[in-house]
Amino acid sequence: MLKSRLTVLILILIFADLLYGQKELKLYEGTAPGSENWTWEEGLSEKNLFNTKVVYNVTDPTITVYLPPKSAANGTAVIIAPGGAFHTLSVQSEGVDVAKWLNSKGIAAFVLKYRVARSFTDDPVKELVDKMNDFETLNKITKPIIPLAMNDGLKAMEYVRFNAESMNIDPQKIGFMGFSAGGTLTMSVLYNAEDNNRPNFVAPIYAYEPAIIGSEIPSEKTPIYIAVAGDDELGMVPYSINIYNKWFKAGQPAELHIYEKGGHGFGMRTQNLPTDTWYEQFGAWLKMHGFMEEPANLSPFQRMTTPNDSLQSVLLDSNKKLEFKIYAPLAEEVSVTGDFPGGFPGINLTKNYLGVSVWSDRK
């Protein structure tokens, strides 16, 4: 009985660390330089044409910290820049959901909320869609914003590297990734970084290349992972190919994935297309470069679970009753089987990036 309760307690402590350890941190003391006269208030839109949660009118840049359990941390960290044409930030499908997946692999994640152009209504997506009919005008609006956003990204890199040890992060295993405008930001950060804020690897996902600031490829080894859909409505394929070619010609490690379908902004969305699992290929790439190594000597109750895990042993109380929680953020279905009278009923899950399933046969 004691052993059973102890096991559940260990699991609950792990999950509490995962689910409640997030913290939003300001990147600047006081007002962010360059936007001292921005007096508008930040907003959140959950009902919009993008059908996802977006943040807009950001004036106070932050990073939200997502740390895996200390026992599961492998030392790698990734800063995530959501997209939104430097007008909005798709913080869910291109931010939080990515962070949760990275956490499930033992990787620390930081969702960057960077400065964007002002929206004048409570429907920033509609405003943006109207502006996207004229890219020339849109580029004029965003041109003075991108350097500010880039500075926010560089500041985030500085913070994570300076505080790496306290968060169980290897300061030489810090990456930067971004989606669409966030991909533009990712490359701008890399091209303009110095030793204290240069990413060790980058992943621009369907990035908009014309707005990238700078073009000098670092001399330091900097692996790059690029992904885009062939039917991207905004025509991002040539830009992704250009970035890949630059890296390839420079002799830098580079990988490019062009999916036939997926559209623009696929992020962590489910569309029943190969882009639904792009992050698995990204994970394989991280592992190949040594950025996703599993910590050694972990018990089944310490290490991060995966959708294909099997439970090696189960401790029951004296009444043969079982209660457990399992962290499986990628699982569509979890089932438990074992040599136990009556067996264990299956557990059906919907995809949940918080990843917690609870089951008990206690009556």
Q: From CA 191, how far away is CA 246, in angstroms rounded?
A: 13
The DSSP 8-state label assigned to residue 177 in this structure reads E
pLDDT of residue 2: 34
| Tens digits of residue pLDDT in 285-316 | 999 999 998 764 444 444 444 444 444 344 44
Q: Please tell me whether residue 179 adopts helix, strand or coil conformation.
A: strand
Listed in sequence order, the DSSP H helices in the chain are: 2-20, 97-104, 124-131, 135-142, 146-162, 181-192, 237-249, 278-288
| Tens digits of residue pLDDT in 64-111 | 999 998 888 999 999 999 999 999 999 999 999 999 999 999 999 999
The neighbouring-strand residues paired with 357 are 326
pTM of the model: 0.79
The neighbouring-strand residues paired with 109 are 66, 78
Higher pLDDT, 27 or 317: 27
pLDDT of residue 20: 36
pLDDT of residue 327: 47
Q: CB neighbours (10 Å) of residue 178?
A: 29
Q: Please tell me whether residue 81 adopts helix, strand or coil conformation.
A: strand
Domain ranges of the chain: 21-288
What is the number of helices (H) and of strands (E) in the chain? Answer: 8, 15
Q: Which residues contact 50 (CB under 8 A, 6 or more apart)?
A: 88, 90, 125, 265
The phi, psi pair for 106, rounded to 5°, reads 80, 15
pLDDT of residue 321: 53
Q: From CA 39, how far away is CA 356, in angstroms rounded?
A: 40
| Tens digits of residue pLDDT in 217-237 | 999 999 999 999 999 999 999
The single residue listed with the structure tokens 């820049």 is: 81
Structure tokens at 363: 């009556």
Q: From CA 55, how far away is CA 178, in angstroms rounded?
A: 16
Q: From CA 18, how far away is CA 35, in angstroms rounded?
A: 34
| Tens digits of residue pLDDT in 130-150 | 998 888 889 999 999 999 999
The DSSP 8-state label assigned to residue 233 in this structure reads T
pLDDT of residue 51: 85
pLDDT of residue 134: 86
Length of the chain, please? 363
Q: From CA 282, how far away is CA 280, in angstroms rounded?
A: 5
Structure tokens at 316: 């029951």
Structure tokens at 140: 């004029």
Q: Are 303 and 72 within 8 A, CB to CB?
A: yes
pLDDT of residue 319: 57
Q: Which class is domain 21-288?
A: alpha beta
* Burial group, residue 263, by CB count within 10 angstroms (0-12, 13-18, 19+): middle
Question: What Cα–Cα distance (Å) separates residue 134 from each residue in 13, 88, 240, 359?
Answer: 52, 17, 22, 53
Q: From CA 211, how far away is CA 230, in angstroms rounded?
A: 20
Please give the share of the chain, as a percent, with pLDDT higher than 90. 69
Q: Which residues contact 23 (CB under 8 A, 6 or more apart)?
A: 64, 65
pLDDT of residue 354: 37
The single residue listed with the structure tokens 């005008």 is: 137
**Dihedral Cα 325, 328, 329, 330, nearest 10 deg:** -150
* Model confidence at 8: pLDDT above 90: no
Helix axes 135-142, 124-131, angle to 10 degrees: 120
Mean of pLDDT over the chain: 83
pLDDT of residue 318: 55
Higher pLDDT, 131 or 323: 131
pLDDT of residue 201: 98
Q: From CA 230, how far away is CA 259, in angstroms rounded?
A: 6
Structure tokens at 334: 């979890």
Structure tokens at 49: 């044409």
